[in-house]
């Protein structure tokens, strides 16, 4: 029979997990699909329809996302590009984000119930982690596998477990190498805590752990190879996985200053009628560090120092890299949440003032992070004033598909196809138009453009297309993304039918 204490701990875990699941799954399909989600969906559909992996080392990251998503799509009866739905695709990151919250539970005997519960609560309510647990991109899988690998390294888990987690990271996204370097450097720096280590001691350490290192490396490579080679059926996939570190191309327009992530988390900003900040979580993490590096450190001090050093190295690496966006910070921020949980390590030995400080900041952290999550996934889910909604898609463009179907319904004697899209940077339009079989994409207007019933022109071609279609089509402005308008042109006879049907 459970004691009252253990019942209370179990109830806390159930409550935290329930909150995490609710924040990640509630109304999951409501937000307009992001361009990166749409491209990920297209890759998943292509692999589903071809029956292979088809990894591209220059774009789009590793195959675990599409492999796991294919299973969920089949389970939901969505077996093609046209049948896919946002809600089904987003189940995968929502599951990953929910499992992420459970990871501290498996180390509660080493870390302590209080620290693991606080870490789990901060992971559960983090607006960054909640928001990207509701988006079909690779980041939440990487964060789940990455945090599992970090905790396995910190607590010296069996080598096969550690290696498998690292292999899953490798099979998810090439940025895993940043974390691997950060963890290796953090572990190396711990050797110098008591001064320069002697060569003999380094050699002894290597002899002690070389079998475990070999097992971890082997399991990592085999796990990654399983996914990149489509269960070892396409050996070239592993070569392409290595090539990606040399040939991968990033898209332009994402360069940010070195202070980008510091401002995103450390400095409170009011935007869209809400305050955005991660300052209390950072204060808790700093409190844990101060205690771990102080005179009377807690028993978990070495683990805390390892995680703290890893956080600093991650922050430096991602700040120096010019390519930046909010979701790249998911794994480093998960480290910070776990580190903040360690603020409760050795709690009983703290002074009353320090105890009051930690309890107050922990309560503020949990409440403010959860409130921000509700703003981020609610009314500001696809609003550029939300700092986590990076280049969000306008609802206006997602409403295009049902409107076109209504237009087709009132014109049974003629077709609204073919549909033409002119220009570049048009994603997620292919997702929006996926149910229309005759849709074409051109970088410049084709000669027979005036004969096409529906034309969508990207900003760089809008003026030229408007001039060419002036006598035959009705122009209607639409919004694709923040600062990216798209002009819709409807053939005049179709437009007249629509106006007679719905003169508003």
Q: What is the pLDDT of residue 252?
A: 67
In the numeric block, the tokens 């590096």 are attached to 293
Q: Counting beta carbons within 10 angstroms of the beta carbon of residue 257, is it exposed (0 to 12), middle (13 to 18) or buried (19 or more)?
A: exposed
Sheet holding 419-422, edge to edge: 439-442, 419-422, 454-457, 484-491, 473-481
pLDDT of 193 > 90? The answer is no
Residue 324 DSSP SS3: coil
Average pLDDT for the chain = 90
* Global pTM value: 0.93
* Cα–Cα distance for residue pair 213/249, rounded to 1 Å: 32
- Report how far apart, in Å, the C-alpha atoms of 235 and of each of 16, 58, 340 are: 43, 18, 43
Contact 476, 457 (CB under 8 A): no
**Backbone torsions φ then ψ of 435, nearest 5 degrees:** -85, -5
* Cα–Cα distance for residue pair 135/32, rounded to 1 Å: 10
Q: Counting beta carbons within 10 angstroms of the beta carbon of residue 217, is it exposed (0 to 12), middle (13 to 18) or buried (19 or more)?
A: middle
* Cα–Cα distance for residue pair 64/61, rounded to 1 Å: 9
* Cα–Cα distance for residue pair 222/220, rounded to 1 Å: 6
Peptide bond into 230 cis (omega under 30): no
* Cα–Cα distance for residue pair 174/55, rounded to 1 Å: 12
Contact 388, 377 (CB under 8 A): no
**Backbone torsions φ then ψ of 89, nearest 5 degrees:** -60, -35
Six-digit token string for 60: 């789009």
The larger pLDDT score, comparing residue 502 to residue 300, is at 300
For the residues 368-381, what does the mean pLDDT come to?
96
pLDDT category of residue 54 using cuts at 50, 70 and 90: low
Integer-rounded Cα Rg, in Å, for the chain is: 26
* Cα–Cα distance for residue pair 64/167, rounded to 1 Å: 11
Return the H-helix or E-strand segment holding 486. Answer: strand 484-491
Long-range contacts of 106-114 (CB under 8 A, 24+ apart): 106/151, 107/151, 107/155, 110/155, 110/300, 110/303, 111/300, 111/303, 111/341, 111/342, 111/345, 112/300, 112/344, 112/345, 113/9, 114/344, 114/347
**Backbone torsions φ then ψ of 491, nearest 5 degrees:** -55, 140
Residue 41 DSSP SS3: helix
* Cα–Cα distance for residue pair 168/64, rounded to 1 Å: 8
Task: Find the range with the poorest average confidence among 80-84, 110-114, 149-153, 303-307.
Answer: 110-114
Nearest residue to 309 (alpha-carbon basis) of 291, 289, 294, 338: 289
For the residues 165-175, what does the mean pLDDT come to?
94
| Residues sharing a CB contact under 8 Å with residue 466, sequence separation 6 or more, in sequence order | 457, 475, 487, 489
* Cα–Cα distance for residue pair 480/38, rounded to 1 Å: 13
Q: What is the pLDDT of residue 387?
A: 94
Span 222-272, pLDDT tens digits: 999 999 888 888 888 788 778 887 776 677 678 899 999 999 999 999 999
pLDDT of 504 > 60? The answer is no
Q: What is the DSSP letter of 165?
A: H
* Cα–Cα distance for residue pair 92/96, rounded to 1 Å: 6
pLDDT category of residue 299 using cuts at 50, 70 and 90: confident
* Cα–Cα distance for residue pair 403/478, rounded to 1 Å: 12
* Cα–Cα distance for residue pair 321/168, rounded to 1 Å: 23
* Cα–Cα distance for residue pair 350/291, rounded to 1 Å: 10
Span 309-353, pLDDT tens digits: 999 999 999 999 999 999 999 999 999 999 999 999 888 888 899
Q: What is the pLDDT of residue 456?
A: 95
For the residues 103-119, what does the mean pLDDT come to?
91
Query: Could you tell me what percent of the chain has a pLDDT over 70?
Result: 93
Q: Where are the alpha helices (DSSP H) in 196-329?
A: 199-228, 236-247, 260-266, 279-292, 301-320
pLDDT of 294 > 90? The answer is no
pLDDT category of residue 1 using cuts at 50, 70 and 90: very low
Q: What is the DSSP letter of 297?
A: -
């Amino acid at each position: 029979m459970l004691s009252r204490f253990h019942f209370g701990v179990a109830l806390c875990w159930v409550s935290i997990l329930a909150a995490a699941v609710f924040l990640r799954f509630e109304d999951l399909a409501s937000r307009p699909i992001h361009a990166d989600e749409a491209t990920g969906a297209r890759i998943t559909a292509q692999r589903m329809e071809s029956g292979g992996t088809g990894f591209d080392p220059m774009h789009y990251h590793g195959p675990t996302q599409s492999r796991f998503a294919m299973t969920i799509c089949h389970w939901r009866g969505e077996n093609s590009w046209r049948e896919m739905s946002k809600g089904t695709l987003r189940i995968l990151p929502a599951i990953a984000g929910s499992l992420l919250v459970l990871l501290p539970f498996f180390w509660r005997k080493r870390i302590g119930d209080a620290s693991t519960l606080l870490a789990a609560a901060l992971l559960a309510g983090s607006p960054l982690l909640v928001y990207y647990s509701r988006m079909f991109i690779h980041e939440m899988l990487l964060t789940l596998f990455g945090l599992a690998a970090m905790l396995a390294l910190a607590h010296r888990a069996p080598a096969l477990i550690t290696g498998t987690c690292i292999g899953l990271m490798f099979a998810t996204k090439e940025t895993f190498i940043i974390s691997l370097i950060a963890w290796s450097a953090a572990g190396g720096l711990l050797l110098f805590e008591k001064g320069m280590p002697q060569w003999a001691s380094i050699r002894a350490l290597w002899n002690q752990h070389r079998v475990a290192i070999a097992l971890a490396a082997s399991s990592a490579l085999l796990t990654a190879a399983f996914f990149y080679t489509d269960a070892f059926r396409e050996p070239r996939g592993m070569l392409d996985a290595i090539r990606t570190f040399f040939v991968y191309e990033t898209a332009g327009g994402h360069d940010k200053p070195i202070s980008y992530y510091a401002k995103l988390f450390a400095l409170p900003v009011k935007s869209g009628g809400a305050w955005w900040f991660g300052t209390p979580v950072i204060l808790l993490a700093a409190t844990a560090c101060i205690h771990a590096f102080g005179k009377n450190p807690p028993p978990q001090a070495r683990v805390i120092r390892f995680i703290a050093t890893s956080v600093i190295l991650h922050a430096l690496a991602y700040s120096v890299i010019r390519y930046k966006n909010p979701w790249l910070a998911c794994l480093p921020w998960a480290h910070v949440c776990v580190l903040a949980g360690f603020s409760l390590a050795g709690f009983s030995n703290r002074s009353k003032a320090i105890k009051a400080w930690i309890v107050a900041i922990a309560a503020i952290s949990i409440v403010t992070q959860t409130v921000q999550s509700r703003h981020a996934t609610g009314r500001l889910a696809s609003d550029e004033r939300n700092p986590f909604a990076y280049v969000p898609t306008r609802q206006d463009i997602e409403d295009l598909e049902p409107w076109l179907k209504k237009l087709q319904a009132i014109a049974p004697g003629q077709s609204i196809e073919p549909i033409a899209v002119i220009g570049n940077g048009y994603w997620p339009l292919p997702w929006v138009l996926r149910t229309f079989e005759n849709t074409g994409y051109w970088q410049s207007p084709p000669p027979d453009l005036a004969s096409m019933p529906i034309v969508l022109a990207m900003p760089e071609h809008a003026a030229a297309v408007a001039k060419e279609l002036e006598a035959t089509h009705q122009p209607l402005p639409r919004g694709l993304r923040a600062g990216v308008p798209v002009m819709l042109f409807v053939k005049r006879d179709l437009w007249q039918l629509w106006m007679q049907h719905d003169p508003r």
